[in-house]
Amino acid sequence: MDLEYAPAPESRSIVDIQPSYGLFVDGEFTEAGGTAFKTIDPASEEVLAEIGTATAADVDRAVAAARRAYDKVWGPMPGRERAKYLFRIARIVQERSRELAVLESIDNGKPIRESRDVDLPLVAAHFFYYAGWADKLGHAGFGSDPKPLGVAGQVIPWNFPLLMLAWKIAPALACGNTVVLKPAETTPLTALAFAEICRQAELPPGVVNIITGAGETGRALVEHPGIDKVAFTGSTEVGKQIARAVAGTPKKLTLELGGKAANIVFDDAPLDQAVEGIVNGIFFNQGHVCCAGSRLLVQESVAEELLERLKRRMATLRVGDPLDKNTDIGAINSAEQLAKIQELSQAGEAEGATRWSPACELPQRGFWFTPTVFTNVAQSHRIAREEIFGPVLSVLTFRTPDEAITKANNTPYGLSAGVWTEKGSRILWMAERLRAGIVWANTFNKFDPASPFGGYKESGFGREGGRHGLEAYLNV
């Protein structure tokens, strides 16, 4: 079918989807073989849907469907034809962006302002971007005629459910691979909505398959012998388990794991701008960001003034209903994650750090945590070493650029960093020495589909986004 000028089929509502089935295999929603689990609204604790758990047999079916589609349809299809499907998916995502943004916010807990204005535009942008690459792979720098790998098994986290799906699926399809994707068990709804978008775009059956479940389902997918490529975004602990499972097999692997980013403010930085960057760096998406600027390193001469301004700004943040467009900080994704944030925050106080939060009345139901800043933090404290994955900021000070580098790199992670200064030469000097996959200059948490993203050390390996993101899905 020529999709270039074909009008999009009539949009269907999310309520028409059958999320209780839990599986989207070979172009159809089907019933999963395992026990159903509930996905809830973290802001109200109300049950949104019951989702089936994919069993090992279900994973077999999904992988087999992906293999058939790869061998018979998608793999042999010319790149220019694959591109038309990707362009069409991108357009449908744009058309249904309001619907998808609401679904993302009620399933994840993030403010609608973020899902509407950040997540959804980036989702569409990734499909548009990689659609442009589909017929130009020979010019990407990986040989004149690079070939796809086959079937990709992809496991994504709960903090950016639909955006992480786009990061994984768009480059895989552009390169000619087919996909079996497992969303996080607490946020499966937008992945199932995306499955419906695949049908709306008339994507050939089996090219994209969605399976739902928890860790056992993910393990069955990762270890399946029919998978040629594994892509995982999530915790470092689970990433290590996946690396061990894949070791000794011909499967290609990319891992995007945890982080403990340093956000470094020098004495010549524009402080009000830096404060906005600090707030965005740690409180965006409730701090549920692997590259969050959770360690603030401030030059001693401006530390007191910066903290005063930061506290004034934090006092204006609004915590509450994710569907209120005026909300700055929504709900913590789950009771389990809230307990982890609380435990590490209590450890910070027990180890001698000074805790401060603005006055904030939290809702009675749901999972909530007040934005928090710790001062008098030592590098030995758990809150300075461990990924909290919540709206908690640890503040340390430094005197010289060399000390800032030493403290910033004193972590097992290496995903991201931020540098705030008016000196361009200092930015370049710092970026060269920071062991981080991405370094922002006078900004934070800015993403673009043309820019590669990934980490060093225990933050994983491989890159997603940009031309570099194609390499993980090509036989080069």
CB 43, CB 363: distance < 8 Å: yes
Gap between the Cα atoms of 222 and 220, Å rounded: 6
- 19 pLDDT band, cuts 50/70/90, is very low
Structure tokens at 260: 């403990």
Is 31 designated active site? no
Top pLDDT among 19 and 34 is at: 34
Residues whose CB is less than 8 angstroms from the CB of residue 289 and which lie 6 or more positions away in sequence, other chains included: 159, 389, 445
CB 151, CB 192: distance < 8 Å: no
Gap between the Cα atoms of 171 and 86, Å rounded: 10
pLDDT tens per residue across span 25-82: 999 999 999 999 999 999 999 999 999 999 999 999 999 999 999 999 999 999 999 9
Tell if the pTM clears 0.75, that is, is over it: yes
pLDDT tens per residue across span 210-269: 999 999 999 999 999 999 999 999 999 999 999 999 999 999 999 999 999 999 999 999
Residue type, 287: G
- Position of tokens 């090992």? 56
pLDDT tens per residue across span 78-100: 999 999 999 999 999 999 999 99
Residues whose CB is less than 8 angstroms from the CB of residue 364 and which lie 6 or more positions away in sequence, other chains included: none
pLDDT of residue 21: 58
- Of the residues 175, 185, 196, 290, which is catalytic? 290
Is 360 designated active site? no
pLDDT of residue 252: 97
Gap between the Cα atoms of 199 and 144, Å rounded: 33
- Of the residues 104, 114, 256, 458, which is catalytic? 256
The answer, yes or no, to whether residue 193 has pLDDT greater than 50, is yes
pLDDT tens per residue across span 346-399: 999 999 999 999 998 999 999 999 999 999 999 999 999 999 999 999 999 999
The answer, yes or no, to whether residue 20 has pLDDT greater than 80, is no
CB 436, CB 291: distance < 8 Å: no
Residue type, 118: V
